Structure 1
Amino acid sequence: MGCQPTSGFKVYNWLTSNQYCLLCDERADGPLALCGACENELPWLAARCRICALPLGDGGPLCAECLRRAPSFSRVEAPWRYAFPIDSLITRFKHQARWPMGRLLGELLARHLRHAYREDLSRPELLLPVPLGRRRQRQRGFNQAALLARWLGPALDLPVRERWLLRPRETDAQQTLDAQARRGNLRHAFTLAPGAEVHGRHLALVDDVLTTGATCEALARLLLRAGAARVDVYCLARTPKPGAPTAARPANAYTSSPFRPTAT
């Protein structure tokens, strides 16, 4: 397929030619395969925890979990709640190898991060994709976090180190486990590659979705113990708490970002 990750120019060409929206099939307004109306209706994260980006209905600065015990990572940056249609786009990218959908989401994430840097987000020195177990990577054929990191790196002018984080122990799929089981499942699952120079550095982990945060917590703890100065997390979407009601979107929730169209 010409849209595979190894065909970088073709993926770029697919995205920058005349596009039709992936969601409604109408002609897109710009170089991305997404029209302004559908982009405006994506489940953008508005009120969120300042640390873990958990969607908050009451607009408080921190969620109860981060107030009780701060995670090892300093900040999570995610543009969206894990809800329709973002969940469908991520699933098709991740499990059906629809790389153009992942490339589109990666470009939107890069724009979100560039805006965050202009506000108050400190730029990291390196991007580190969350590693995938060897068995799961053989089955899937690629690591979605590594692809996102490869696309984010040039867009953000940041180097990517795909092989610094290793996952030598196979674990059960996190999706099948509750929060406590997820933490136990990841015990001793990760290690640093020999020669990984993390001491004193500000690093950012890259993943597709943050659910309980167990994976990124384990990796951030590993990096901090190795001397990293700070660890952030960049992902496409953040899942709300199970059973939490969907917060209403304020009419002007997305107008502060230069790449989000103003609601009409």
Structure 2
Amino acid sequence: MRTAAQPRLDAAWQALYRWLGATLLPAQCALCGAGCPELLCPPCRAQYLEPGQARPRCRQCANPLAGIDVAQLCGRCLRQRPAYDATVTAFDYAPPADQLLLQLKFGARLALAPLFAQLLHVAIQQQAAWNLPQLLCPVPLGPARLAQRGFNQALEIARPLARLLDVPLQPRLALRLRETRAQSGVAPQERQANLARAFAIAPEYGVLLQGCHVGIVDDVMSSGHTVNALAAACKSAGAARVSILAVARTPPH
């Protein structure tokens, strides 16, 4: 008979099995499979990841901007300003680079998290006249999804990123008030409603947020509704500025 804790134990064993396989098998590039001492071979990094770092983007939502050489606001952000103030992303969420994030999120390949943190760190360093956040907050998962997956991919990325930036990490600052459907499975016109009243700030962190610059860390930013809802909660709790630090950005819908 399966107990209430059985799904969590099953997820833990599956994660351990995948980790042992990744540890004991010969090192190879996570994208092309070529023998490589690093997680990603130099040709794949140069071809699939580095071009996205040099692309001009909207300085608020990080959507790619065509036909210009400097970052400015896109038309969408000019029409309706989001709750967050800036976004930094490392690369576009497009094949084949998107497979890296899928390996982390659904394949429990946690060794990729430091690579994503390094890529984000490089992207942050390339921002002109940009002030670092005073603390980092990973997008929280609901209890059911956390138990099913066994880890929070945003937190796994935020840990090494906080060390690279020398910025405090506050993994318990944000609370997920209710389980929501995965945004990838929700129609675009329903995504904002799916996240209504989904986040809150833990009461004990209210004083910490007063006048603070918060960096919200996530793996993928698509429509932006998830990070916007969390940014709005941070602003309501007293944050003065919110920046989104997302590993990848999907192309405009």
Residue 41 of structure 1 pairs with residue 52 of structure 2: no
SS at match of 1:205: strand
2:98 matched to which residue of 1?
87
Aligned twin of 1:75 = 86
* 8 Å CA contact 2:31, 2:100 repeated in 1: no
Letter in 1 for 2:90: P
Contact between 1:102 and 1:148, CA under 8 Å: does it hold in 2? yes
CA distance in 2, matches of 1:24, 1:173: 29
Aligned partners of 1:32 and 1:104 also within 8 Å: no
RMSD, matched Cα: 2.2
Does the 8 Å contact 2:114/2:160 carry over to 1?
Answer: yes
Which stretch shows the higher mean deviation, 56-65 or 192-201?
56-65
3-state SS of 2:203 partner: coil
1:101-112 to 2 correspondences below 5 Å? 101-112=112-123
Distance verdict in 2 for CA 1:178–1:55, change over 3 Å: farther
CA-CA distance at 1:25 after TM superposition: 4.1
Residue ranges of structure 1 left out of the alignment (5+ in a row)? 6-13, 243-264
Please point out which of 21, 24, 31 is paired with 2:29. Answer: 21
Q: CA deviation at 1:75?
A: 0.5
**What runs of 5+ residues in structure 2 fail to find an aligned partner?**
1-11, 17-22
Distance in 1 (CA, whole Å) between partners of 2:200 and 2:83 is 16
Aligned equivalent of 2:134, options 110, 125, 128? 125
For residues 222 and 34 of structure 2, the distance between their equivalents in structure 1, rounded to whole angstroms, comes to 32
TM-score scaled by length of structure 1: 0.79
> C-alpha distance in 2, partners of 1:123/1:129?
16
Q: Distance in 2 between matches of 1:114 and 1:64?
A: 26
Report the equivalent of 1:11: none
Residue correspondence of structure 1 range 206-245 to structure 2 within 5 A = 206-242=217-253
**When the two structures are aligned, how many residues end up with a matched partner?**
226
8 Å CA contact 2:217–2:245 kept in 1: the answer is yes
Q: Which position in structure 1 is the counterpart of 2:180?
A: 171
Does the aligned pair in 1 maintain the 2:114–2:161 contact within 8 Å? no
What is the correspondence of 1:130-149 to structure 2 with a 5 Å cutoff? 130-149=139-158
**What is the aligned partner in structure 1 of residue 8 from structure 2?**
none
